[in-house]
Amino acid sequence: MSYNSFGQLFRMTTWGESHGPAIGCTVDGCPPGIPLTAEFIQTFLDKRRPGQSRHTTQRREPDEARILSGVFNNDDGDQVTTGTTISLMIENVDQRSKDYGDIKDKYRPGHADYTYIAKYGIRDYRGGGRSSARETAMRVAAGAVARKVIGDVSVRGALVQIGQHKIDRSRWDWNEIDNNPFFCPDPVAAKDWEKYLDGVRKSGSSAGAVIEIVAEGVPAGWGAPIYGKLDQDIASAFMSINAVKGVEIGDGFEAASLSGENNADEIRIGNDGQPRFLSNHAGGILGGISTGQPIVARFAVKPTSSILTPRQTVDCFGNETEILTKGRHDPCVGIRAVPVGEAMMALVLADHYLRHRAQVGE
């Protein structure tokens, strides 16, 4: 039984634990002849890498990905995919397992410690083992390959809320994303968040976040009806990310409070003679199939569970006790979830592109 694979035609399988010697993934189904280098993959990993600002965990992982298989030099001397399984690997170099020794018998609230024991009867307690978000580095690496498959489609993510602090959408500027440590498109909100998150961190607490992922350039027609819906697969992809507790497509839960007149996206004929939507409440998907508009989806991440404030719990011997989680943690895991969300969107789109091509051609 495998629970470590995602996708149908474009399929990623990840392996490894937080404090094992390495983590890795295989990517199956990638078409041949696509230029692919470790440097390209690295640009995306560098965005997720820990320890880049005081607002993320201080674990120092260079996160250097190696391509072990699936590429070869073509006649021009360029490294391209061969159509065989691509294997990617990252060595873990900054494990500090002793941080976790004193909690090995305790179930950390908000973590998967209890449920892994309930299911398997054994767990790697070092950094959460397989349940650790260290695994998401491989999603980002595989997502970089997926981006190559979907060519001109752009997939970008932004943090739109930390704790109760939302951005002002009228100030949305994609160019701001790289100007602050939060992937925040609103420069004013980013400034406020600095102060807010410093306070959260100093008090030993944590905050949740909402991440928005936008895919532009997806033509009308990708996706499928009934049980193969594009929005269904995006929801599944986002929900599989650690700490995600909610997903929205388009207006999401807000759509419930709109009237039918306001919600249904009206259609006219554009200058190119093709249908043109006057709004995008649907988030670019109707009936599980892309409309050609931007695909807009959001996910909510819960506040980091590992905090410096003691919490009540039990141990594996049946005793009630308290726990204080030392170790190095992100005060808001939503920040580093942005590149992970982008990767999951790219993986879904690459899979649906290939599925669309297999059934109806380009």
Ligand X SMILES: Cc1cc2nc3c(=O)[nH]c(=O)nc-3n(C[C@H](O)[C@H](O)[C@H](O)COP(=O)(O)O)c2cc1C
90 binds ligand X (CB under 6 A): no
Sequential DSSP letters for 175-239: GGGGGSTT--S-HHHHHHHHHHHHHHHHTT----EEEEEEEE-PPTT-B-STTS-HHHHHHHHHH
Instruction: Give dist(CA 86, CA 48) in Å, integer.
Output: 21
From the CB of 128, what's the least distance to ligand X, in Å? 5
Residues 49-88 that bind ligand X (CB under 6 A): 57
Instruction: Give dist(CA 229, CA 149) in Å, integer.
Output: 20
Which residues are registered as beta bridge partners of 214? 156, 296
Given the rule CB under 6 A, which of 93-101, 110-118, 193-201, 252-260 is the region that contacts ligand X? 110-118
Nearest alpha-carbon partner for 297 in 241, 342, 333: 342
Q: Which of 25, 210, 214, 333 lies at the binding interface for ligand X (CB under 6 A)?
A: 333
Nearest alpha-carbon partner for 356 in 289, 297, 303, 300: 289
Given the rule CB under 6 A, which of 33-41, 175-183, 215-223, 327-335 is the region that contacts ligand X? 327-335
**DSSP-based three-state secondary structure for 343:** helix
DSSP symbol at 35? B
Given the rule CB under 6 A, which of 3-11, 81-89, 130-138, 183-191 is the region that contacts ligand X? 130-138
Within its chain, how far is the Cα of 47 from the centroid?
Answer: 12
From the CB of 115, what's the least distance to ligand X, in Å? 8
Residues 304-323 that bind ligand X (CB under 6 A): 304-306
From the CB of 285, what's the least distance to ligand X, in Å? 24
Q: Are 145 and 31 in contact (CB under 8 A)?
A: no
207 binds ligand X (CB under 6 A): no
Give the number of other Cβ atoms within 10 Å of residue 256's Cβ: 8
Instruction: Between 248 and 330, name the residue whose CB sits nearer to ligand X.
Output: 330
241 binds ligand X (CB under 6 A): yes
Q: Which of 330, 349, 352, 356 lies at the binding interface for ligand X (CB under 6 A)?
A: 330
243 binds ligand X (CB under 6 A): yes
14 binds ligand X (CB under 6 A): no
From the CB of 48, what's the least distance to ligand X, in Å? 7
Q: Which of 26, 136, 161, 180 lies at the binding interface for ligand X (CB under 6 A)?
A: 136
Instruction: Give dist(CA 282, CA 286) in Å, integer.
Output: 7
Q: Which of 90, 213, 215, 340 lies at the binding interface for ligand X (CB under 6 A)?
A: 340
26 binds ligand X (CB under 6 A): no
Instruction: Give dist(CA 224, CA 356) in Å, integer.
Output: 8
18 binds ligand X (CB under 6 A): no
The footprint of ligand X (CB under 6 A) covers 57, 110-112, 128, 131-133, 136, 241-243, 302, 304-306, 329-330, 333, 336-337, 340
